[in-house]
Structure 1
């Protein structure tokens, strides 16, 4: 990355924060770069947990989160809010990560001002615009705007080349989620109190195979969530397992899981875990069941297999390698 005077990193969700705090640290370690951080708080509480453990203090916070807001309402707020910050700061470069509304709108607002964009975790494709939805299209939009594409793997780099992105603009970097995971694992080893909140669960399921679960994808709302809950009921009939399930706060997830699974003694329904505690869950589990993209990368990095609860994935490398 060519050095510039001012770089603005824009993110708004927990996964973005996890994957960008190592980038913030790395840029701050480079002399001559004025690093600014704008968070949109598309996810409020879950974002704040990562900012704290990741030691990142935002320069701007749009605080746009509202319960069950529509994508068009969110997008409109993001576009005007990010635009106002860009007009105030006029950075030399904007950095976005992944596939969220915040990332897409951050790139679009920068494009409107002819500010170059760097895309972290570029080139992931499922080739189905409704799986994941709306993330697949968000990535494609960012890909048409960015002039620097930081692809995590050779597969993602090849996808970009197939879309006529010049080879000079593509940089295979690996995935920053692994940098973040190893960083927080080191912090846990130095201070076990960071994950003491799982001690009771670990004692409760001592001697059992722990199955970790996460689910939050929009395309699973409704029948998909019902199917996942029913499957977990069947799995929990085994007397050698304990299911640890941090349940997303979205009522489309929580209401179904509370109703179907709330009284099952072999299933621990928890509030969303902060980043250290979730890293601990990855460490102690036998396998992960998830529709998350990041978990498909994090769990195998700790030697844990993943069952992907989706019809498609933009991360086929895990399936090819046999880890997912």
Structure 2
């Protein structure tokens, strides 16, 4: 029996964590074989050298493409894409997959789509059709990759509707939910005391918030000003702060520098460059609040009953649960939102019972079944544009 070989492309820890349940589900099937292409931030110590997590999870890495330049501007990200294209071309020449799976909207998703298209490799896109009104380049990349993809694994029916509006054929679109929820259900629960010991804090059960703030390409030059608005509010609160490193997008150096300074002047702050999946999920489980602009606050936090304060334009207009409070960068507005999220009993009760629009935590198995059962050949590769 021929086992379909599925390559998964990933460039950063957050992306890999979303893909991981799918990789595991593919690897568990006798008719499929999984392999990972690691690139971007996975291969640098600046972002925790997270390729080690992929190895620790037991997945075969078919190739590593070193592409992250030491740049905090727009050109570095674009030049890195050229390195990714070259590296993936070499990988496909050495070991051609039956499918390439990409997730979301980062630059490796676009380079993977281009490389697969020219090699006539079917492309499966996870998370297509999602949209935020934040004027970020991510939206453009995500929708462009959807037009290049042959199979769509979308998170919600609204995302599926957007793909139909792009002219995609109905049979290519599968509403599978968000695979990040699979991870939440599979990670063993740690007690608060076990968590504090595991992450190296002595907070004695005191309330804490998780800070995870990424730069946005539309206003990355103001990243320092934006993160300082958040840290100043948190510094004047009584909350402990678990501060996570930002992603590798332009503006990340300024955010990392301010977080380091914040930790130096405030003893209640603990900075994490990288946490493995078990620690990170349990960090969210025991938190009083998540603040920043991470998609984890939109996709995964509702299933944990975790309040989220989303600061700035990133994620604006995205489909979300009742757990999210959106604010601008005004410190008084941020402070009021934190107070509501941590002290308003009625709000916290609603959040504890809120429903997520992103599925039931069984996405990985659904996607693996689709990859195993979809008919390969000319019909799959030759895309048509459907007009209503």
Give the TM-score band, short-chain normalised.
Answer: 0.7 to 0.9
Distance 2:316 2:7 in 1: 27
- 1:148 corresponds to which residue? 151
The separation in 2 between residues aligned to 1:71 and 1:310, in whole angstroms, is 22
Q: Work out the number of aligned pairs and report it.
A: 310
Over the aligned positions, Cα root-mean-square deviation in angstroms equals 2.6
Say whether the 8 Å CA contact 2:243–2:271 is kept in structure 1: yes
Asked if 1:80 corresponds to 2:86, the answer is yes
Counterparts of 1:234-253 in structure 2 under 5 Å?
234-239=233-238, 241-248=239-246, 250-253=252-255
Alpha-carbon separation, structure 2, partners of 1:266 and 1:5: 50
- Residue pair 2:65, 2:83 contacting (<8 A) in 1 also: no
- Alpha-carbon distance change, 275 to 5 in structure 1, aligned in 2, over 3 angstroms: closer
Please tell me whether residue 64 in structure 1 is matched to residue 63 in structure 2: no
| Partner Cα separation in structure 2 for residue 14 and residue 272 of structure 1 | 8
CA deviation after TM superposition for structure 1 residue 75, in Å: 0.6
Provide the rounded CA distance (Å) in 1 between the counterparts of 2:214 and 2:294: 7
State how far apart, in whole Å, the 1-side matches of 2:316 and 2:113 are: 20
**Of 101, 107, 113, the match for 1:107:** 113
8 Å contact kept, 1:293–1:315: no
Match of residue 201 from structure 2: 200
Change (3 A) 1:305 1:114: same
Q: Supply the distance in 1 between the matched residues of 2:53 and 2:300 (Cα, whole angstroms).
A: 15
What is the CA distance between 1:189 and its match in structure 2?
4.6
Structure with bigger RCO (C-alpha 8 Å, 6+ apart): 2
2:211 to 206, 210, 213: 213
Secondary structure of 1:259's match?
helix
Q: Match of 2:301?
A: 299
The residue that corresponds to 1:160 in the other structure is 163
1:228-270: CA deviations, max 9, x gaps? 323332333234x222212338422122233355312333334
SS in 2 for 1:301: helix
Query: Is 2:274 the partner of 1:276?
Result: no
- Deviating more after overlay: 75-84 vs 37-46: 37-46
After superposition, the C-alpha distances for 1:10-37 in whole angstroms (9 at most, x for unaligned) are 2221122111121111112222223332
Mind listing any 5+ residue stretches in structure 1 that lack a counterpart?
Answer: none
CA distance change for structure 1 residues 46 and 14 in 2, over 3 Å: closer, same or farther? Answer: farther
Partner of 2:26: 27
| 8 A Cα contact 2:147 2:166, kept in partner | no
Instruction: Indicate the residue corresponding to 1:172 in structure 2.
Output: 175
Correspondences of 1:185-196 after superposition (within 5 Å)? 185-186=187-188, 189=190, 196=197
Query: What is the deviation of 1:180?
Result: 1.8
CA contact (8 A) 2:113 2:148 kept: yes
Could you list the per-position Cα deviations for residues 64-101 of structure 1 after superposition, in whole angstroms to 9, with x for gaps in the alignment?
33322702210100011111111222222211111111
CA offset at residue 222 of structure 1?
A: 3.9
Distance 1:9 1:257, change over 3 A: closer
Deviation by residue 1:90-119 (Cα, 9 ceiling, x = unmatched): 222211111111111111100012211101
**Structure 1's 194 and 109: CA in aligned 2 closer, same or farther, altered over 3 A?**
farther
Question: How many angstroms does 1:193 deviate by?
Answer: 6.6
4+ residue stretches of structure 1 with deviation over 4 A? 192-195
TM-score normalised to the size of structure 2? 0.72
- Alpha-carbon distance in structure 2 between the residues aligned to 1:248 and 1:272: 10
Cα distance in 1 between the residues matched to 2:41 and 2:109: 11
2:227–2:255 CA contact under 8 A, matched in 1: no
Matched position secondary structure for 1:244: strand
Cα distance change on mapping 1:231 and 1:97 into 2, 3 Å: closer
Matches of 2:23 and 2:272 in 1, distance apart? Answer: 30
Residue 232 of structure 1 is matched in structure 2 by 231
Give TM-score, length-normalised by structure 1.
0.85
